[in-house]
Structure 1
């Protein structure tokens, strides 16, 4: 990977010609997808900035015990860059990272990557029609900027009184210190989300005592995770079409699940049947009525993300594992005190308290983004209900796109959502190049019309009936809108990306 380029030090000199035609922020799956699309379009003047020391995004930063995919590997990949050699149906993190690195290498994209470069702010220069990006102590400029930071871009700082007073070791899933030996230690895990579901069963056999602090229980499902037989991997290598068909079949299955959630209120019987099945699963896994009552969610399935696992529930049957649902009063110097006055001393504190979502205004307070005429992204997200064009463009933000915005999740995995986004954004960039346009902005009316039409497709979704309001689900933003999922099938989303009217954008020349 190329080392960071040297540019101006303190203030940008506002050159008419930008340093790069396109700047991509993030070298995970989103950045990789966009780079592949730019390469396909013949656009080579692009750069990919990432704050980590290499590519991979989430799969580089998350190295906690048990990290792995929650989606079958044969779906968790690109249609045009299949890996026939997955070791099992749900591979672990290092294998996924190796896949990402291989796709970067095979497509000669690493020379475009600038590691250890955190974009701290960006602002639109309307005079010269370019973006100014502050990276550490220097400025770079780009004609177009594409944010590829994904739906969960930042760790959410825990709101725990006394945390700074704690004298022991603190670990977080996205910044795990692999040098810390947990053997025989007294460990507390705060949180029961997707990362915790993977961490808890993995560390329980090694630690001396494990206490899990649960605020909201999580729905988990049985996990079928066989190793891939050599003959099947060989078949995938020799006849790639077979794996492609498997990918398409899995996408159809997962897409149907999403569509069921988005039309949940039309088929209440299915919801009741699924809940009954899961109730029986929890009953088999946890015979103890009192313990099962703590672990079994009371909110509707699946208001919150669901994790497949065969180990999580049974971990709480171990003699060295305790589950507490009492609220935490504060973190002390040596442990955790709950509201009932109980203080438990610990050696290691694991904060699995989740992430900020893409729509969290704080992300843009920490790293300001200023568009045309003083448009402030943090203020827009805080005060305005959604108004977006296909989730990728916002009026007031010329020459700027995001790989994941409102109504952004399409299909079974983020890869599919990112591919749809890259197709849309690529069409706009190609048209700008054809017209020699240097100022491209979505029309306000187009954004409002598309948002209204899309929102009208969700009145029967699980999230619109008030069932999930108390769960603090990521699928509902702080305005009470369920804007995470795009309420159309994958085929429709791909067709829309290939056929939306380019006239919905304003293309201005030099």
Structure 2
């Protein structure tokens, strides 16, 4: 993503709207639907993509599926009562998100293939002026809901341009490619890689996975739901609620123990369970050693899979505990000097976390938010940024906006934004801007809690740490604490602009 606006947007008529939402994934959909249902009719959505779906539009690799149970990974305001499995696969999730967008008339509100290039607050006009690849939009309110893991990390590998076979990031999967008959290198060992390796193994001639660092893996316990069970769940609100409550309670415990580090005994038990699962699945002691992390659970994102470990036992699958350091026309080479001849390379190398969009957002004083914050991203309650009137961050765009259910932040934040808009209407205000003192105080409180968690003190590299060593990703509390924080807008920490 380029971070420098050159002022060269295509000439086009200026489009004026009351509310502009940037993004087309689940959290953007949730914000748009709930604001519209609250009576805000003048909403436009802007997205660089060609359709709705976010991560589930972008990631189409074989084996792609959600890591949260489908019974909670959905909209509370528009649930799907007929999921086909406990953890839905990408095509079903994409269909669900598109269907919600379609039934709520979001398509007619949306500028597709319009990438935000620059957004700046006009002090004179009291609005956001947003330049995009499809022209200029001015908006009284700007909502950024651009996703947690959207911008791919493309590693710089010596000789990459000389490779003669297929090479692509996992989020840019070639249509129809199955790896059949190919020798495929999978670079990476995160959540995408552990889905891709077992999916390719039955078809590829060889799958070679290059792992720099192992992480903790837990059984997913996914299964297809028989037709009778699907029908029963559709007919029984009580059974659905029972399952939802049980899953949410378990996920809240996991978040608290693993990501926030608030329960050392529980975290140690999770590590024991993961080691036990590894021993059950991998018979070879040397391979088990290569797959055993040396960091505490939660330092990196823990993984869930029923078939990843098992796939490593296949004769055509090879685990290489080294990074790829160079490439040639027909091979990849590790930092240890080992050469592997391959036909295709999958870069399952992950994503930059969320807030890169703030490189393109300018405060009242003309500075970009990123430049002002100097490597320490922050936002009051993970939603409002000082110097940026009428700007609201939702989900991935928001520092500390991540919670265990990736579809929840948009649903949680919408009531807060609706409350802020009502406050401005009732008090005749042009805009609201959070104070810098409130922003700093909230971030300091978040750091106090998160600095004791494994992401910060665990001793590993991860996408959650900012340049100053603090956790820029996680919400400092439970999902229910996020719901409570956004339930009612409180103007106390905001500056009123008349």
Aligned-residue offset at 1:171: 2.2
What is aligned with 1:402?
393
Which deviations, in whole Å up to 9, do the C-alpha atoms of 1:406-435 show, x marking residues without a partner?
22123x401222222222222212322333
What is aligned with 1:481?
470
Of 384, 393, 400 in structure 2, the residue corresponding to residue 393 of structure 1 is: 384
SS in 2 for 1:212: strand
Of 192, 198, 202 in structure 2, the residue corresponding to residue 201 of structure 1 is: 198
CA contact (8 A) 1:364 1:377 kept: yes
Distance, in Å, in 1 between the alignment partners of 2:433 and 2:239 is 42
What is aligned with 1:29?
26
Aligned-residue offset at 1:459: 5.1
Per mean C-alpha deviation after superposition, the further-off stretch among 396-405 and 412-421 is 412-421
Aligned-residue offset at 1:456: 3.1
What is aligned with 2:407?
415
Distance, in Å, in 1 between the alignment partners of 2:427 and 2:207 is 62
Q: Cα gap change, 1:262/1:221 in structure 2, threshold over 3 Å: closer, same or farther?
A: closer
Matched, 1:457 2:421: no
SS in 2 for 1:153: strand
Aligned-residue offset at 1:338: 2.0
What is aligned with 2:61?
64
CA contact (8 A) 1:385 1:479 kept: yes
CA contact (8 A) 1:359 1:477 kept: no
Of 334, 338, 343 in structure 1, the residue corresponding to residue 339 of structure 2 is: 343
Distance, in Å, in 2 between the alignment partners of 1:420 and 1:339 is 45
Aligned-residue offset at 1:111: 1.4
Distance, in Å, in 1 between the alignment partners of 2:10 and 2:79 is 44
CA contact (8 A) 1:221 1:308 kept: yes
CA contact (8 A) 1:192 1:214 kept: yes
What is aligned with 2:189?
192
Distance, in Å, in 2 between the alignment partners of 1:106 and 1:125 is 35
Q: Cα gap change, 1:348/1:10 in structure 2, threshold over 3 Å: closer, same or farther?
A: closer
What is aligned with 2:425?
433
CA contact (8 A) 2:9 2:131 kept: no
Superposed counterparts of 1:161-240, under 5 Å = 161-240=158-237
Aligned-residue offset at 1:101: 1.3
Q: Cα gap change, 1:164/1:434 in structure 2, threshold over 3 Å: closer, same or farther?
A: farther
SS in 2 for 1:393: coil
Superposed counterparts of 1:154-165, under 5 Å = 154-165=151-162
Which deviations, in whole Å up to 9, do the C-alpha atoms of 1:374-420 show, x marking residues without a partner?
12123134x1534421011110111211102222123x401222222
Aligned-residue offset at 1:262: 5.5
Aligned-residue offset at 1:199: 0.6
What is aligned with 1:251?
248
Which deviations, in whole Å up to 9, do the C-alpha atoms of 1:196-245 show, x marking residues without a partner?
11111001111111111111112211121122233332233223343234
CA contact (8 A) 1:120 1:135 kept: yes
> What TM-score comes out, normalization by structure 2 length?
0.92
Which deviations, in whole Å up to 9, do the C-alpha atoms of 1:153-175 show, x marking residues without a partner?
21112121221222211122211
Q: Which runs of 5+ in 1 are unaligned?
A: 1-7
CA contact (8 A) 2:117 2:131 kept: yes
What is aligned with 2:371?
379
Which deviations, in whole Å up to 9, do the C-alpha atoms of 1:449-474 show, x marking residues without a partner?
2223333334543334x22x3x2122
Distance, in Å, in 2 between the alignment partners of 1:331 and 1:309 is 30
What is aligned with 1:506?
495
Superposed counterparts of 1:9-28, under 5 Å = 10=10, 19-28=16-25
Per mean C-alpha deviation after superposition, the further-off stretch among 420-429 and 238-247 is 238-247
Distance, in Å, in 2 between the alignment partners of 1:313 and 1:492 is 35
Q: Which runs of 5+ in 2 are unaligned?
A: 1-7
Q: Cα gap change, 1:96/1:305 in structure 2, threshold over 3 Å: closer, same or farther?
A: same
Of 292, 299, 321 in structure 2, the residue corresponding to residue 303 of structure 1 is: 299
Aligned-residue offset at 1:56: 0.6
> What TM-score comes out, normalization by structure 1 length?
0.90
What is aligned with 2:416?
424
CA contact (8 A) 2:81 2:234 kept: yes
Which deviations, in whole Å up to 9, do the C-alpha atoms of 1:247-283 show, x marking residues without a partner?
233122211211223563x643333232222212111
Distance, in Å, in 1 between the alignment partners of 2:468 and 2:382 is 16
Aligned-residue offset at 1:359: 3.7
Distance, in Å, in 2 between the alignment partners of 1:24 and 1:261 is 33
CA contact (8 A) 1:392 1:425 kept: no
What is aligned with 2:4?
none
Aligned-residue offset at 1:351: 0.5
Q: Cα gap change, 1:335/1:141 in structure 2, threshold over 3 Å: closer, same or farther?
A: same
What is aligned with 2:440?
448
CA contact (8 A) 1:438 1:508 kept: yes
Aligned-residue offset at 1:372: 0.6
SS in 2 for 1:170: strand
Distance, in Å, in 2 between the alignment partners of 1:156 and 1:136 is 23
